[in-house]
A and B are shown apart, each in its own frame.
Chain A
């Protein structure tokens, strides 16, 4: 993989994360009508498709553009204010989540794409991401860890749906454009 192709792919997944957060069509309505956007689906896909290092770089690039002032976070938020809010733990966890997704994808080379990607998405995009998100919420909102964990449990079913969706998308892309599964080459 050339430097040029590598950089363009990293930028493309950073843009995909942004686009998935901006498209209101992708809101998944779950109980209590809490809108769950597809932004974390993009995080999972970046790690699954690009592998640990490039996946994490794509997420860091996305966060960097957000910090520069582009309103690319879910619901059109952006700028430095996003990094001072209660969901900062999730933002800090995003690149780590993508990294873990890529690691799991690499470790499960022997498996077909769908189960490997599902394991990666749940491991990185749900378990690791929530560990960061809950710690951040506890710190920013003055809650203890237990209370912070209870406060975010409503979002977990939505993210499990997104993990399944990420695995299905990864499988479709791997079928339609096998060279795009950079994490396994």
Chain B
């Protein structure tokens, strides 16, 4: 499964996903008007302290934040160049506080729990025809299609390299899309044959307790 989730049993893991999301939204909104960099620094230290119970497992995530570090350095340099160094420090501290807080929610919440927490929030969209089970199926399809497309890109890229001695780069996008679209039509037929996007009621599903814990549709059809 492609997900940044870190398993664990701490306080943040036990908190319901909905509570974490609401807390994150409220804290982020509260941080926007803060204009004292010292207050922001204290907030950042507190957020970093929340990472401590997760231990060494967060190190890969922190490595993934390196581009943000570069961006923050550029931002600070730009602010100093404009003569607004203090606003620059404030922006950089706020940036790290908000990103680290949001990342913390992602690290401690399973994708299935996140989906379950977000689905009721999308309830009003039923008016325009968005049913929760369609959304769940669509999410599953994206998670299944993405590695398929990356794989197609690698295969076509190698073939292009063998033929021409150069890397295909953007020239490969059209053939990838055409092959993927053919697959998509077969997947659509397979879904129609199984009763369509709204066809199978949740209680009739064979196993598992959510779409992300089931195998993708037509795994053999790659």
Contact = CB atoms under 8 A, between A and B. Distances in A.
Interface of A: 2-5, 7-12, 14-16, 18-20, 22-23, 25-26, 28, 38, 41, 45, 61-62, 64-65, 67-72, 75-86, 140-143, 147, 151, 165, 168-169, 172-173, 176-177, 180
Contact of B114 (A3, A15, A69): A69
B142 A3 contact: no
B3 A7 contact: no
B132 to A, nearest CB: 12
Interface in B155-197: 157, 167-170, 172-178, 180-185, 187-189, 191-192, 196-197
B153 A71 contact: no
Main secondary structure of the interface of A (DSSP, over half): helix
Given A169-B177, A177-B178, A19 B150 contact: yes
Nearest to B65: A81
Contacts of A4: 188-189, 191-192, 196-197
Nearest to A70: B2
5 smallest CB-CB distances across A and B, nearest first, come from: A79-B106, A15-B145, A11-B141, A172-B174, A80-B102
Given A12-B145, A70-B3, A86-B75, 19 more contacts: A4-B188, A11-B142, A15-B148, A16-B145, A19-B176, A64-B135, A67-B114, A69-B106, A71-B2, A71-B64, A75-B67, A79-B103, A83-B102, A84-B98, A85-B68, A147-B78, A147-B82, A172-B175, A173-B177
B146 A72 contact: yes
B70 to A, nearest CB: 10
Nearest to A148: B78
A28 B75 CA distance: 23
Contacts of B177: 16, 45, 169, 173, 180
A12 B138 CA distance: 9
A154 B213 CA distance: 43
Contact of B95 (A9, A65, A85): A85
Contacts of A77: 64, 67
Contacts of A61: 138-139, 142
B-side interface mostly: helix
Nearest to A162: B170
A62 B142 contact: yes
A142 B91 contact: yes
A84 B139 contact: no
Contacts of A85: 68, 71, 95, 98-99
Interface string B84-106: 10011011000100111111011
Nearest to A7: B197
Contact of B4 (A19, A62, A69): A69
B149 interface: yes
A25 B167 CA distance: 8
B99 A69 contact: no
A41 B170 CA distance: 10
B205 interface: no
A8 B90 contact: no
Nearest to B21: A80
Given A26-B170, A142-B79, A169-B173, A70 B88 contact: no
B181 A69 contact: no
Contact of A173 (B103, B114, B172, B181): B181
B214 interface: no
Interface in B198-213: 198
A111 to B, nearest CB: 19
27 contacts: A5-B185, A8-B187, A11-B142, A15-B149, A16-B149, A18-B142, A18-B149, A19-B149, A19-B176, A22-B146, A25-B172, A38-B170, A64-B139, A68-B114, A68-B115, A69-B3, A70-B2, A70-B3, A79-B103, A81-B102, A83-B102, A84-B99, A141-B91, A143-B79, A177-B178, A180-B177, A180-B178
